């Protein structure tokens, strides 16, 4: 029996309280949402996000928090109330109605488990897909930021402990690693260097994220055929000559330096992409040599239109222990 199973994964992020313009309805094996499913973190937005996830056809949907989902980060939620001179939710009727009490948004998500929606805390999780594949996933909502008013932020000068093992298949974070799909409009890279170092050492099959809307895209990275450097970076540890940018906003949207023919090709490519409803990739990946990076931020930067979800096909390991019971989708968390 073949130990690898082709698995279709729909990756989205940064929906910010709105539905997908693409109206994607194809069946997939797994859906991943990389956080910021709300804009203001109120209960109505969480309910809308749950409705969106249920509308997508898959037996299992994995979600993590983003910085906009701050009511899931109770200390930040409490601090926001203090700064606004408001009472705790249970003492303020308007706050409780809009945002719920401490822990209420989390309970709302946890209650969706029977519907196949699994909220992942930071850490390593073992996932058994209904198609028979077995996944080891590392998830984390944390991003480097000194703006403490948002959820799940850490001081970039202090760093963060990314406990990503070498047996991880997919890493799900809200923010990008430094050097890969992390350019802001001002051409400044804002990804996390510690996260890049952890990914460069673990070399998972896929790392998906969002947060930086204008850096939407996917890139297949080939790693250097050496041990990870002492101070890993996108300059030293990636084989850039053999890495491939699969798609980005630059490859899709006409620019001022494009020729008329080049602009026409991009316009046609974008038209077909909108018609399809997603951007598709099925890269050939060799474990330890390649990693597919996907920035799946749906919300366009500034006034731009909504960006497409990513439909990724990966060859995943078969769950050998449960070949005779391939109908259950479940998740268990392992402490690292």
From the number of C-beta atoms within 10 Å of its C-beta (0-12, 13-18, 19+), residue 303 rates as exposed
Is residue 106 within 8 A of residue 64, CB to CB? The reply is no
Cβ contacts of 119 within 8 Å, gap of 6 or more? 63, 64, 65, 106, 109, 110, 112
- Under the banding of pLDDT at 50, 70 and 90, the label for residue 304 is low
Q: Give the whole-number percent of the chain exceeding pLDDT 70.
A: 93
In the CATH hierarchy, which fold is given to the domain comprising 4-323?
A: Purple Acid Phosphatase; chain A, domain 2 (3.60.21)
- Under the banding of pLDDT at 50, 70 and 90, the label for residue 135 is very high
- Under the banding of pLDDT at 50, 70 and 90, the label for residue 324 is very low
Q: How far apart are CA 311 and CA 299, in angstroms?
A: 17
Structure tokens given for 221: 């990275």
16 pLDDT exceeds 50?
A: yes
Mean pLDDT over the full length of the chain? 91
For position 322, what pLDDT does the model report?
56
Structure tokens given for 122: 């930071």
DSSP letters, 268-279, are HHHHHHHHHTSE
Place of tokens 């897909």: 129
HSE-up (13 A, CA, CB side) for residue 212:
30
Query: For residue 117, how many other CB atoms are within 10 A of its CB?
Result: 20
Place of tokens 């996944």: 135
- Under the banding of pLDDT at 50, 70 and 90, the label for residue 90 is confident
Give the single-character DSSP code of 18. Answer: -
Structure tokens given for 288: 């330890």
Distances (CA, A) of 190 to 70, 238, 293: 20, 18, 16
Structure tokens given for 7: 């698995």
Q: Which residues pair with 30 in a beta bridge?
A: 9
Q: Give the whole-number percent of the chain exceeding pLDDT 90.
A: 78
For position 323, what pLDDT does the model report?
53
Using alpha carbons, select from 317, 300, 335, 313 the residue that is nearest to residue 123. Answer: 335
Place of tokens 């109770």: 74
Using alpha carbons, select from 126, 122, 109, 35 the residue that is nearest to residue 329. Answer: 126
SS3 per-residue string spanning 126-145: EEECCCCEEEEEEEECCEEC
Consecutive H or E run containing 196: helix 193-202
- Max CA distance (Å), the chain: 63
Give the single-character DSSP code of 302. Answer: T
Q: What are the tens digits of pLDDT across the range 206-224?
A: 999 999 999 999 999 999 9
Enumerate the domain spans of the chain. Answer: 4-323
């Amino acid at each position: 029996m073949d130990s690898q199973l082709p698995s279709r994964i729909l990756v989205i992020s940064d929906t910010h309280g709105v539905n997908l313009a693409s109206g994607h309805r194809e069946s997939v094996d797994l859906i991943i949402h990389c956080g910021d499913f709300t804009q203001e973190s109120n209960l109505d937005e969480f309910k809308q996000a749950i409705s969106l996830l249920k509308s997508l056809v898959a037996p299992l949907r994995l979600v993590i928090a983003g910085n906009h989902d701050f009511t899931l980060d109770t200390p930040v939620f409490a601090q926001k109330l203090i700064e606004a001179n408001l009472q705790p939710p249970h003492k303020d009727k308007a706050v409780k109605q809009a945002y719920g009490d401490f822990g209420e948004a989390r309970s709302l998500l946890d209650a969706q488990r029977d519907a196949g929606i699994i909220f992942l805390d930071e850490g390593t999780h073992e996932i058994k897909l209904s198609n028979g594949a077995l996944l080891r996933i590392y998830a984390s909502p944390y991003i480097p930021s000194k703006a403490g008013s948002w959820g799940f932020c850490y001081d970039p000068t202090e760093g963060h402990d990314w406990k990503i093992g070498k047996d991880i298949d997919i890493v799900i974070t809200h923010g990008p690693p430094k050097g890969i799909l992390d350019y802001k409009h001002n051409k400044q890279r804002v990804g996390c260097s510690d996260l890049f170092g952890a990914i460069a050492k673990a070399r998972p099959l896929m790392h998906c994220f969002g947060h930086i809307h204008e850096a939407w895209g996917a890139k297949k990275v080939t790693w250097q055929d050496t041990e990870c450097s002492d101070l890993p970076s996108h300059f030293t540890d990636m084989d850039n000559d053999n890495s491939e940018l699969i798609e980005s906003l630059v490859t899709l949207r006409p620019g001022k330096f494009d020729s008329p023919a080049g602009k026409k090709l991009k316009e046609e490519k974008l038209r077909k992409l909108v018609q399809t409803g997603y951007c598709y990739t099925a890269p050939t990946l060799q474990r330890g040599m390649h990693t597919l990076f996907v920035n799946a931020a749906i919300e366009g930067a500034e006034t731009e239109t909504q960006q497409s979800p990513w439909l990724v096909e990966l060859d995943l390991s078969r769950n050998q222990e449960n070949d005779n019971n391939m109908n259950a989708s479940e998740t268990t968390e392992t402490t690292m």
